[in-house]
């Protein structure tokens, strides 16, 4: 629980919204940072330490068992914690405590496969954002607050200032993003790209340094800029100062894509889950599957009126399927047993 965390800062927002629908919520978390929660929310850290699994497991079990013995819970919601979910799944199954796991990742690991046999359900963003399918899987969209990620009043070309916001990790294919921007720049000299984000862990710091070393000339020339991760509160206003969001992650539906869509700027991505929902910029042939560069070239050829129309269409879809209020309502219905598994 940390409002400043680059990846999981939104968890505090989820907890605070869930607190409106439950008398009491206990949050068990591996680490505690900065957060503010209502009086009916209790946050407990089991102090998970990387590299010290046995000690961490003992602490986790002690905290969990103490929590369920002292409180009368109606459900357990594990958020992107397939390991911990697997550890407690036999217990929740035996005592008949409803247990759901939020999992929005395409990796089909051992813990997910194991826990899915004992869980009441797996909640995810889209069908393709979870490697497991079946009646136990609930696709409920992403949870983006449209009051924070509000739409720009209008779009005005030409497109020149590109932005990418996200973790500086190999999965995000930062090198592909840079190369795509470079190719688009060959036809439009005014194109610039800013990449905002930091490595999610120390093991990716060398990757980040290697990428930056490879493009030193581009940064010296001024068209490419790297900025460390910024606070989540700063992202909405930052996105709206750019002309287009560039993205190359191919796994599950990335929150950043929906945030950019709600912000009212064009999105360029090869993410298949995004394209299934929102389409691509080959508007005359919606069934096509253009590369990132091809989609960029298609977008740059469109006039402002057509781009604005497509932005509005995608915005309406994002509001209907991925807005925070609707997401919370769908989640609460599942946790309270008001939706069929």
Assigned domain for 197 exists: yes
- Does residue 156 sit within a domain? no
The answer to whether residues 132 and 201 belong to one domain is: no
Contacts of 217 (CB under 8 A, 6+ apart): none
pTM for this structure? 0.90
Does residue 125 share a domain with residue 46? yes
Nearest residue to 248 via CA among 327, 144, 170, 326: 170
In a domain, 341, yes or no: no
Q: Which of 250, 247, 244 lies closest to 263 in space, CA to CA?
A: 244
- 254: its two tokens: 């990335």
Q: How far is CA 249 from CA 4, 116, 270, 298, in A?
A: 23, 26, 7, 20
Q: Residue 340: its pLDDT value, please?
A: 52
Residues paired with 239 in a beta bridge:
none
Q: Whose CA is closest to 193, among 153, 165, 232, 152?
A: 165
5 within some domain:
no
The pLDDT score that the predictor gives to residue 213 is 95
Are residues 87 and 70 located together in one domain of the fold?
yes
Question: Are 291 and 330 contained in the same domain?
Answer: no
Q: Residues 186-224, buried b or exposed e (16+ Cβ, 10 A)?
A: eeeeebbbbbbbbbbeeebeeebeebbeebeebeeeebb
Is there a single domain that holds both residue 200 and residue 282?
A: yes
- pLDDT, residue 326, reads 96
> Measured at the alpha carbon of residue 166, what is the angle toward residues 163 and 167, in degrees to the nearest 5?
140
d(Cα 159, Cα 161) in Å, to the nearest integer?
Answer: 6
Residue 2 belongs to some domain of the structure: no
CATH of the domain at 330: 3.40.50.2000
Is the same domain home to 170 and 273?
Answer: yes
Same domain, 223 and 292: yes
Number of domains the chain contains: 2
Report residue 195 as tokens: 């990449």
Shared domain check, 166 and 137: no
Whether residues 185 and 131 share a domain: the answer is: no
Q: Residue 51 — left, alpha, or beta (φ > 0 → left; ψ -120 to 50 → alpha)? A: left
- 111 & 195 share domain: no
Q: Which domain holds residue 97?
A: 10-143+323-335
Is the previous residue joined to 268 through a cis bond, with omega within 30 degrees of 0?
A: no
Q: Which two tokens stand for residue 210?
A: 């290697």
Q: Which residues of the chain have pLDDT under 70?
A: 4-8, 339-341
Q: Which two tokens stand for residue 259?
A: 């945030």
CA angle 272, 278, 283 (to 5 degrees): 100
CA distances in angstroms from 154 to 61, 67, 150, 274, listed in the order given: 52, 50, 12, 22
Q: What angle (nearest 5°) sits at the alpha carbon of residue 82, between those of residues 45 and 60?
A: 30
Does residue 4 belong to any structural domain of this protein? no
Do 227 and 88 lie in one domain? The reply is no
User: Beta partners for 195?
Assistant: 164, 226
Both 42 and 112 in one domain: the answer is yes
Name residues whose C-beta falls within 8 Å of residue 93's C-beta, 6 or more positions apart in sequence.
99, 118
The confidence score (pLDDT) of residue 6 equals 60
Q: Nearest Cα to 112, choosing from 92, 89, 128, 138?
A: 89
Q: How many helices (H) and strands (E) does the chain have?
A: 13, 11
């Amino acid at each position: 629980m940390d409002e400043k965390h680059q990846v999981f800062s939104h968890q505090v927002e989820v907890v605070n919204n869930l607190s409106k629908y439950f008398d009491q919520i206990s949050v068990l978390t591996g680490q505690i940072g900065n957060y503010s929660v209502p009086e009916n929310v209790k946050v407990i850290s089991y102090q998970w330490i990387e590299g010290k699994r046995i000690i961490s497991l003992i602490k986790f079990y002690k905290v969990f068992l103490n929590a369920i013995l002292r409180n009368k819970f109606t459900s357990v919601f594990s958020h992107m914690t397939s390991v911990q979910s697997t550890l407690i799944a036999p217990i929740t199954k035996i005592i008949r405590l409803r247990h759901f796991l939020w999992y929005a990742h395409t990796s089909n690991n051992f813990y997910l496969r194991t826990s899915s046999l004992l869980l009441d359900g797996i909640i995810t963003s889209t069908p393709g954002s979870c490697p497991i399918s079946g009646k136990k899987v609930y696709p409920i969209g992403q949870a983006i607050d449209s009051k924070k990620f509000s739409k720009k009043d209008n779009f005005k070309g030409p497109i020149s200032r590109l932005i990418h916001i996200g973790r500086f990790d190999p999965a995000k294919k930062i090198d592909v993003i840079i190369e795509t921007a470079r190719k688009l720049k060959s036809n439009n000299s005014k194109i610039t790209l800013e990449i905002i984000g930091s490595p999610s862990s120390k093991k990716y710091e060398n990757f980040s340094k290697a990428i930056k070393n490879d493009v030193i000339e581009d940064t010296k020339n001024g068209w490419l800029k790297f900025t460390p991760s910024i606070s989540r509160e700063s992202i909405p206003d930052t996105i709206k100062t750019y002309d287009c969001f560039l993205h190359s992650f191919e796994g599950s539906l990335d929150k950043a894509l929906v945030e950019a869509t709600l912000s009212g700027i064009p999105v360029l991505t090869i993410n298949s889950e995004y394209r299934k929902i929102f389409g691509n910029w080959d508007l005359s042939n919606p069934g096509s599957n253009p590369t990132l560069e091809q989609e960029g070239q298609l977008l740059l050829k469109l006039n402002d009126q057509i781009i604005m129309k497509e932005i509005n269409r995608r915005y309406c879809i994002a509001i209907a399927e991925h807005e925070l209020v609707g997401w919370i309502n769908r989640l609460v219905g599942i946790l309270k047993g008001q939706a069929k598994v």
